[in-house]
Structure formats: structure tokens, C-alpha cells
Structure 1
Amino acid sequence: MGYKLSKKNINDIIKDLSKEYVIYAPKTFEGQGTFSDTDRIRYGEINAIDEIVFDKKAEYSYKEVLLPISQTLFYFTEDSIKEADAPKKGAIIFLRSCDLHAVKRMDDIYLRNGQEDYYYKRVRENAKFILMGCENSFENCFCVSMETNKNDEYNAYLKVDGDNVYVDVKDEALESIFRNDETLDVKPDYVTENSVKVSIPDNLSLDVMKSEMWKEYSARCIACGRCNFVCPTCTCFTMQDIFYTDNGKAGERRRVWASCHVDGYTDMAGGHSFRLDKGQRMRFKVLHKVYDYKKKWGYHMCVGCGRCDDICPEYISFSNCVNKLKDGMKEVADNE
């Protein structure tokens, strides 16, 4: 059901929802940008509608709400283990269509991949998603090519137009909160074209691993892992044991984001390591995003948000790399 409300109405609703939920949305963090005196837009807790940044892309994705950068799993002593407490409140997350598609990928990995991840599930099952429309495409976005520019699997959709706020509510629990006498038909804003377009070749196979195209990234990539950390569908982590005492009898185990681009990711016992070459790491990531994931799930892992292109300090473009796959396949075929 669609409704027209005022910003004051929405702020009252946010205040009411805050009793049971922590509300996350893209917001401005002043002075926390890459360079001096620059700001950064990323996810944080909001208490009013005007805190939400609607007209710019969040530089980091929503995923740190469902999968914290560093998450304590349990505490231990010499003879006991105590599970870390679950969040006391649920989460309401404002996000765009591409990121809502990314939630589906996260669910694939953590809930439908052979077993359910207990720590992810207890956060995920208490999360609701409010869609933010996109009137215009942002720089480096290629969601239309990845077919993630539209999504109707939201709990609610919200659009601000001056002092008016238009909402479409699908969730019964939220319906009673947003219900208003002034009802109308509200449809989400979706982009239908991006300036950046990608084309994944129909004949793409693992033969492309033999292409010379990957050598470019051996020279350019610095293995910082930023592309992985801003990506809404990268889900890898490593484990850390934090000891409280010198004798190591008490502490906590945490899982912490990891990156297939960063040194040490493939280290094994005995000093062995796979993919020491940075081009090989780029190859692994690209083929995971647009080849093998689709073979299992029926759709690509990449959702075309373009954050990887936005954040790379070496100006490496993931979308350009994807578009080189066609020539890479031709090169390999010609060499055989």
C-alpha cells in the first residue's frame, strides 16, 4: 500500500521504530574521507530522515550491518566457552536495488550453501530492508547490464520529494506504522540505462585463465583489498584469537573480513601459498563474480554497483576487465 506522509511523520515513525530496531542508512561522516577535509558516505545509525544521503552513492555497502568487519563469536577461558550475545535490537537498512540483490547473494553464501551460518542468521532474520530509488545512474554503475537495477523484494520503499515522503509498504508489521489516510499508488524509481555497460561473453570458460590479459593487473594492482571490502557480495573472512592475558588462558575468537587480493589470503601450513601473483588474484575474483557463481546459482555474483571502480587507488576498472573477457577468449582460441 502506498502513502504520502510528511518528514515530521517519518521522523516520528523512525523514533518509534528505534525502540525495536537500529536504523542504518547512508550518511555523511564529516572529515573521514580519503583526503584531508573530505567527507565519506557510508552506513551508520540514523535518527532522522534528513541524515540519509539519497543523492550520492554510499562508498561502502550495507553489508557491514549484517556481517560486521570484526565480529566476536565467543569468549573463552581455560575451561569454559561463552557465546557472544546477539544484537539486542533488529536492523532496518535503507539500500538501493543493487544492494538488495546483493543481500540475496549473501543469503546464498551464509544460509543456502550447505549449512546455515548461525551468527549471520540471527542478525539476518531480524533485518528489514527499505528500498531507496535511483532516479539517475551514478558514476561507474553498471547495474542494468547485471539485471540488478530493479527489485520488488523490499519490506518498504521510500522516496523524499521536498517536505513530502512517499512510501510503498509490503511488510505487514510496518504497514500499521506507516498507515495514513492519504493513500496513493507509489512505484519505485529505477534507472534503465547506465553510462557504463558490460558484456559477459556467452562462450566464457576457464580457458580464459590462459589469456595474457591478466598480466596487466600483475603490474598495476597493489593488493590493498579495497575492492573486496567495499563490494556488497564479497563474503570472505579469517579468524583471529585475541588473548587477554600473557599466559593465553582467556580471550575471544573473532571473524574478520578477509580479501582474496591481500597477501597471505591463500597461505597454508608448511609455507605454501596459492596465487602469489596479483594478476592471478584478479583473475580469481573476476571469474568468481561473473562465471562460476552463476554456474551454481543461476545468476552472477556481481551486482554492478561500481564501488570497486570508485575505490581503487590504481584506477583499475572491474567493468573494463569484464569487457576484456571476450578478447581474452578469442586470444586463447587463436593460440590453440
Structure 2
Amino acid sequence: MGYKVGFKDADRIFGQLQDEYEIWAPKRFVGKGRYSDTDLIKYAQVASAEEIEYKEKSDFPAKEVLSPITQSLFYFTEDEFIESKAGSKKLLIFMRPCDIHAQHYQEKIYLQNGGFEDMYYKRMNERVKIVMMECQEGWDTCFCVSMGTNKAEDYSMAVLFGEDGLSFQVKDESFAPYFEGMEDDDFTPAFVEENELKVTVPEIPDKEILTKLKDHPMWRQYDKRCISCGACTVACSTCTCFTTTDIIYNENANVGERKRTSASCQVKDFTDMAGGMSFRNRAGDRMRYKVLHKFHDYKARFKDYHMCVGCGRCIDRCPEYISIVATVNKMADAIEEIKAGENGQERG
């Protein structure tokens, strides 16, 4: 079913939806960008269609709705603890196709990881309905086609924003009553077919080559280039690293709350352990860990696809202009170099 909806009618529909749903979408925050006189686009609750930023890619991903930067887990006193409460409303989230794929990738980490289910993520995820925002061309840092995430089918509705209104495709019949009396439209979403950026992810054929790749000198260039700020992982659609902190309310150390806060494997001291042990102390080693996790380890574990969805937000946010596409291409060259060296030794 498809419908053509003017902005005034869209706002009326949004008002009705808010009785049952929190509506989340990319929203522009004027003057809040990281440079002077620039804006920030991030996910926030919206009350009208005009609030949704659809012309530009959001600086931060939709994952922040389900796994917030900071989240209270439970509150404790000297002799008991109380879990934080989940919201009562469902979540209606406007997402690009790549973010829809990213949600499924995160589900594997939070809900299918060795039989463990993260209850805090699960209770959010179970409340989600998705509105897919049509994405026809993408942006200059996107490479979703290479990662196979340019198209999506798992959504309740799809939407195309126009100058005079919105076109909706409604797949979930529970939403059809909201569009009663609206003009019919045979809208079917289009998808990006080609990106300016392209990447071919190299296959690592065996453990021996993987071991040699980890020691390859290509990673040393990032010791100087990468400043270990973690901006790439905060903006990443699929990163899931976090840390926990106990917040004490007063002088009584037995009263407070435990919070979960997003963390980054790219930040120095992330791997600090009791006793002073620490791993990956060089920026290049941290870069290697991130890249191999996105483009080898995840797929090797879950046997389906690579973890990166090609949204390009890490490229957009890196203050040193490090491109993940260029890094993966360098990794491909390093693998071929290692293979050539092994073949030369065999012939010798």
C-alpha cells in the first residue's frame, strides 16, 4: 500500500502515532557542529515531519537510540538493587538502509553472542518499528554497495521526502489506519546502485597469512597518523564496545547507580587490566584490531558478512582524514605481498 501525504497531514499522523510511539529520526542541531558555524545532525525525538533531516547523512548513527552513549543499568543501596525502567512506548525509527543492516549486525553481538542475551538491548530492540528513508544516490564517503547494505527489506514503512509532501509505502498493516483518506500512491523505494567509493574486501585464506598480516609494517604508518581520539568508533553504525561506571551519590559508597557508557578500542588505555597489564599500546595496533574486526573477525565468527556497512561516517568524522576504504585497500595489497613472498619461498 502506498500513500501521498502533505506535510500538514503528515504532522497530524505524527501526532496520532505519538500516543503509542516515540518517533526518532535524524534531526539538525544548528550551530552544534564540531567546527564554528556548522550544524550537527544526530538522532533525536521528533514531533513533526519538518524536523527530520533527510537531505544530508546524519553525523551519528541510528544505533544511539537502542544503545545510548550513556545508559543507566541499575540503582543500588546497601542491601538491594533496582533495575532501570524501560520506556512504555514503542520506538518508531527513521533509518537509512545501511542503518537497518547495522541494527541486525548489532543484534548478533548483543543477542546471539555465545548464547548470552543483553537484557538492556533486548528490551529496547523488541519495541522497534522501522521507517526506511529512501536513499537513491548516497554521499561521497558512502560505500554501501560494496558491502551489500544498499538495499533493505526489513521495515514497516518506507518514505520518500519531496518538496510538497511525503510518499509512504506501508508494509505493516497496523499502520494503515493512520493513512485512511490519504491519496493513493504506488511509491516503491529506490536504492543506491553505485557509489563513488568502492572497496573489495580481501579474503584472508588461512591463519598463517593472518598472523603475518598482523605484523605487517603497513600498520606502523598509523602510529603517527591516528591520534587515538575514538571519533571513528563513536560514529560507527556497528561498534558495540562499552565500559561500566559506578556513580556514588554521596559520602555513602553503597548508594548510587551503575551506568554503561560507550567506549572505543581506538582510545589509549582501553585495554588496561588489573596489575598494570595493557594491550595494543600503539595507535597502529589499535587500528589493526579495529580493521580486522570489521573486515575479518566478525564474518569468521558468525559465518555471514563483514561487520562494516559502508556508511562512511568514520571517514566523515576522522580529524586526520583517515579513510577506512584506503586502509582496506592497503590491507589487500599487504595480503598479496605476503602471498607473493610465500610463493617465492616455495619456488626457492
Q: 2 CA distance for matches of 1:162 and 1:2?
A: 18
Counterpart in the other structure of 1:13:
13
- 1:4 and 2:4 aligned: yes
Q: 2 CA distance for matches of 1:181 and 1:4?
A: 7
Paired letter, 2:136 = E
Paired letter, 1:154 = Y
Paired letter, 2:193 = T
Counterpart in the other structure of 2:309:
303
Counterpart in the other structure of 1:227:
232
Q: TM-score, normalised by structure 1?
A: 0.97
Counterpart in the other structure of 2:73:
73
Paired letter, 1:329 = I
- Please list, as runs of the form range in 1=range in 2, the aligned pairs for 1:315-330 lying within 5 A after superposition: 315-330=321-336
Please state how far the C-alpha of 1:204 moved relative to its aligned partner: 5.3
- Please list, as runs of the form range in 1=range in 2, the aligned pairs for 1:213-292 lying within 5 A after superposition: 213-292=218-297
Check the 8 A contact 2:70/2:259 in 1, yes or no. Answer: yes
Counterpart in the other structure of 1:107:
107
**Residue 144 of structure 1 aligns to a residue in which SS?**
helix
Paired letter, 1:323 = N
Cα deviation, 1:105-134, whole Å, max 9, x if unaligned, reads 111111122221111111111111100011
Paired letter, 1:316 = I
Q: Tell me which moved more, 174-183 or 252-261.
A: 174-183
Q: Tell me which moved more, 200-209 or 105-114.
A: 200-209
Q: 2 CA distance for matches of 1:160 and 1:180?
A: 20
Structure 1 residues without counterparts, runs of 5 or longer: none
Counterpart in the other structure of 1:313:
319
Paired letter, 1:246 = E
* Percent identity of equivalent pairs: 48
Counterpart in the other structure of 1:164:
165
**Residue 109 of structure 1 aligns to a residue in which SS?**
helix
Check the 8 A contact 1:94/1:132 in 2, yes or no. Answer: yes
- 1:118 and 2:119 aligned: yes
Please state how far the C-alpha of 1:331 moved relative to its aligned partner: 2.4
Check the 8 A contact 1:204/1:326 in 2, yes or no. Answer: no
Cα deviation, 1:264-288, whole Å, max 9, x if unaligned, reads 2111111001111111111111111
Cα deviation, 1:91-117, whole Å, max 9, x if unaligned, reads 111110001110101111111222211
Check the 8 A contact 2:201/2:328 in 1, yes or no. Answer: yes
Q: TM-score, normalised by structure 2?
A: 0.93
Counterpart in the other structure of 1:294:
299
RMSD (CA atoms): 1.3
Structure 2 residues without counterparts, runs of 5 or longer: 343-348
Check the 8 A contact 1:129/1:155 in 2, yes or no. Answer: yes
Q: 2 CA distance for matches of 1:225 and 1:199?
A: 25
